[in-house]
């Protein structure tokens, strides 16, 4: 009980923060297009991947909830599994300069190598424009876009909102379940779930 209480308290404390003017997007809406610079210093637009399933994963390499998934190799395994099945996986860092987790293209590339991350690309959103466009509040915060460009899932990565690696085997992974159903041509059972993790480190007002 004590450990669960501490995990919940940590979640609530880290998730609080200056998150304002977030967009009002919903499952079933057309996913807003955007263009960002990636870890190679190149511009990448969402529309480039039209006709594919796309995962958007908000990330902050210094967040303990993100470290739970990357330190265990869990996130990298998901990335490898689904990119091999033709899914485009975009990790997005909306950390502002001077705030926790901020990365330049060069440091983002180094971090991805250190993590042995396997997304299709890492995109940088230092002004928070895309994060606010989608209403991303936490790291991780997951979105699944269908081949028709509409949002199929948005919310937390799984059902156990802690930063404890040992909780991973018991958790229902919502993004994996949604991807499996989508790739099989089935309706998505869980279309939305409460996101959890650290607050996205947007620029302070």
Asked if 88 and 125 touch (Cβ cutoff 8 Å), the reply is no
Predicted pLDDT of residue 19: 37
Q: What is the mean pLDDT of residues 147-159?
A: 98
Q: Which string of b and e fits 114-124 if b means at least 16 CB within 10 Å? A: ebebbbbbbbb
Containing 13, the helix (H) or strand (E) segment is: helix 2-15
φ, ψ dihedrals at 78, nearest 5°: -60, -45
Instruction: Considering only residues 68 and 24, tell me which one the structure prediction assigns the higher pLDDT.
Output: 68
Q: Does residue 21 register a pLDDT over 60?
A: no
Structure tokens at 12: 């609530």
Band of the pLDDT at 139, cuts 50, 70, 90? very high
Instruction: Considering only residues 115 and 1, tell me which one the structure prediction assigns the higher pLDDT.
Output: 115
Predicted pLDDT of residue 16: 35
Instruction: Considering only residues 90 and 4, tell me which one the structure prediction assigns the higher pLDDT.
Output: 90
Predicted pLDDT of residue 24: 78
Range from 10-14, 19-23, 197-201 that averages highest in pLDDT: 197-201
DSSP string spanning 74-89? HHHHHHHHHHTTT-EE
Q: Does residue 18 register a pLDDT over 60?
A: no
CATH architecture of 2-199: 3-Layer(aba) Sandwich (3.40)
Q: Does residue 147 register a pLDDT over 90?
A: yes
Contacts of 202 (CB under 8 A, 6+ apart): 17, 18, 19, 94, 96, 99, 128, 131, 132
Compute the distance between CA of residue 131 and CA of residue 125 in angstroms, rounded to an integer.
7
Q: Does residue 167 register a pLDDT over 70?
A: yes
- The crossing angle, in degrees rounded to 10, of helices 64-71 and 2-15 is 120
Mean pLDDT of the chain: 91
How far, CA to CA in Å, does 63 sit from each of 9, 81, 134, 199, 205?
Answer: 15, 23, 20, 9, 21
Predicted pLDDT of residue 22: 53
DSSP state of 197: S
Task: Give pLDDT tens digits for 48-75.
Answer: 999 999 999 999 999 999 999 999 999 9
DSSP state of 41: S
Band of the pLDDT at 172, cuts 50, 70, 90? very high
pTM metric for this prediction: 0.90
Predicted pLDDT of residue 134: 97
Q: Does residue 11 register a pLDDT over 90?
A: no
């Amino acid at each position: 009980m004590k450990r669960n209480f501490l995990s919940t308290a940590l979640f609530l404390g880290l998730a609080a923060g200056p998150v304002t003017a977030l967009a009002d997007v919903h499952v079933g809406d057309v996913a807003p297009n955007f263009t960002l610079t990636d870890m190679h210093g190149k511009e990448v637009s969402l529309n480039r991947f039209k006709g594919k399933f796309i995962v958007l994963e908000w990330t902050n390499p210094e967040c303990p909830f993100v470290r739970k998934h990357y330190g265990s190799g869990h996130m990298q395994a998901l990335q490898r599994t689904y990119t091999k099945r033709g899914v485009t996986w975009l990790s997005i860092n909306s950390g502002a300069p001077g705030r926790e987790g901020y990365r330049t293209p060069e440091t983002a590339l180094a971090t991805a190598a250190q993590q042995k991350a396997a997304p299709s690309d890492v995109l940088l959103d230092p002004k928070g424009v895309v994060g606010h466009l989608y209403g991303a509040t936490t790291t991780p915060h997951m979105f699944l876009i269908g081949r028709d460009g509409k949002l199929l899932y948005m919310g937390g990565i799984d059902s156990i909102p802690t930063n404890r690696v040992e909780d991973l085997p018991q958790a229902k992974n919502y993004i994996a379940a949604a991807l499996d159903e989508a790739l099989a041509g089935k309706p998505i059972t869980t279309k939305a779930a409460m996101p959890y993790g650290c607050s996205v480190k947007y620029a302070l007002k």
